[in-house]
Structure 1
Amino acid sequence: MDKGPEPKIDDLPPCLIHIDKEGKWYHQGAEIIHPGFVQFFFEHMELDDKGRYVINWNGQRCYIEVEDTAYVVRQVDFSGGNGKEERAILHLSDGSTEALAPETLFIGKEDVLYCQVKNGTFPARFLRPAYYQLAEKIMEEGGSFYLLLQGKKYPIKPSRDKSGPVS
C-alpha cells in the first residue's frame, strides 16, 4: 500500500521536547527524569534527510529541538593494552556502550570533540569528563592532533565550518 509522499519537515509538528547540549531531555521546559521515557524516545529517534531529529512511532512523526546532539558521550573506558588491541569504549547518554570509531573524531564549534555513533548514524558530543578521559591518548604533532589507539595515529579532523557536528 502506498503511504504517499513523505511529509515535509515543515509539515511535522513539534514534539515539544528539547535536548540540551549536556544530553538532558525536557518536555515543555520540565526535565524528563523517567529513564523509560527517554529510552523510548531514543529507540524511536531518527535523523531525517535535512539533519533534523524526528521521533517516529506507529506512523506518527514529530521533530525534537536539539541544542547540539541528541547523543552525548558521558564516559570513555579503555580495554586491551600496550596500544595494540586497545579499544576506547564509549558510554552514551542512552545507557548503551559501543567501541569508538576513531576515524570519525572531529572538532566542532567552541573546540568541542565529537564522533559518530550508532553505526555512523548520529553525531555525539563528548561531555567534558569523557573528553578528559580520551585526551590522555591524544597527541599533538606538527600542529595537528591525533588519537593514538591500536598502535595507530587517528587524525582528529576540524569541522569544515566550525558551526557544529557534521551529520
Structure 2
Amino acid sequence: MPMEDLPDLASLSLPEIATLIEQRRLPPVKQWNPTHCGDSEMRIARDGTWYHQGSPIGRPAMVRLFSTILRREADGRHVLVTPVEKLDIAVEDAPFVAVEMKAEGEGAAARLAFRLNTGDLVTAGSDHPLRFVAGEDGPRPYLHVRDGLEALVARAVYYDLAERALAGDADRPGLWSDGAFFPLEPAA
C-alpha cells in the first residue's frame, strides 16, 4: 500500500485498525538465512529518518519497503534480509518511531493503537508491550513492533501517554491496552 493511500488514524475505529493490522502480510524474514554479504551503507537515525550513503531516503515507499525486510539478530544487530542476501544496517536507537496514537476506552478496557513512521499500525498489548527507559533527556517509551524490533514513541505521543497514565485511578501510574498494564515508571 503506497504511503499516500494510508487512511487517517483519527478517522479509523480500533476494530478497523485491527482489521488493517491483520491484513498486513510481511515477508518471512525469520525463515531466511542467507550468508552475510556486508554493509548496506544504510542508517536509521534516532528520529526515524532512513539514510543511504549519508543522504536521506526521500521516497516513503522505499523506506516502507525496506522496513518490511528489516530483522534484528540474536546478537542485537539489525540487518536487511532477502532470501539471498543479508546486509548490516546501522540503527541509532529504534528502527521505528510511533508518531501518532489513537486511544479508546478507559482502565482495563482501554486500547491504544499507534501509527509508525513507516505507516504500519500496532496496537499495544501483551504481544506489543510498551516499556519506559530512563534517559538523560527524561523517560523514553518504546513499543514492541515485531520480533525484537521496537518503535521509539515520539515525544508528543509520549506526553499524551503520560497524561492518560496520570489520569488513571491505578495505585501506580501506568497504561492499559488490550488487557495488559504497562507501568509508566522507567525500568531499572
Mark yes or no: TM-score above 0.5: yes
Of 119, 133, 155, which aligns to 1:107? 133
Q: Which moved more, 1:123-132 or 1:96-105?
A: 96-105
Partner of 2:111: 87
Of 37, 47, 63, which aligns to 2:88? 63
Question: What TM-score do you get using the length of structure 1 for normalisation?
Answer: 0.76
- State, as a whole percentage, how many aligned pairs show the same letter: 26
Unpaired runs of at least 5, structure 2: 1-32
Unpaired runs of at least 5, structure 1: 161-167
Of 147, 150, 153, which aligns to 1:123? 150
* 1:144 shift after superposition: 5.7
> Could you give the per-residue CA deviations for residues 54-91 of structure 1, whole angstroms, max 9, x where no partner exists?
00123111111111010111011112x24353210111
Larger proportion of strand: 1
Q: Supply the AA of the counterpart residue of 1:124.
A: A
Question: What TM-score do you get using the length of structure 2 for normalisation?
Answer: 0.68
* 1:135 shift after superposition: 1.6
Q: What's the C-alpha RMSD, in Å, of the aligned pairs?
A: 2.8
Q: Which moved more, 1:44-53 or 1:94-103?
A: 94-103
Distance 2:179 2:62 in 1: 41
Q: Which moved more, 1:103-112 or 1:120-129?
A: 103-112
Detail structure 1 runs of 4+ shifted over 6 Å in the superposition.
none
Tell whether the 8 Å contact from 1:108 to 1:114 is kept in structure 2 after alignment: no
Larger proportion of helix: 2
Aligned residue-pair number: 150
Partner of 1:139: 166
Of 37, 47, 50, which aligns to 2:62? 37
Distance 2:84 2:62 in 1: 18
The 3 A distance-change label for structure 1 pair 152 and 14 is closer
* 1:151 shift after superposition: 8.3
Distance 1:146 1:24 in 2: 29
Q: Which moved more, 1:124-133 or 1:150-159?
A: 150-159
Tell whether the 8 Å contact from 1:26 to 1:32 is kept in structure 2 after alignment: yes
For 2:166, what is the secondary structure of its paired residue? strand
The 3 A distance-change label for structure 1 pair 14 and 83 is same
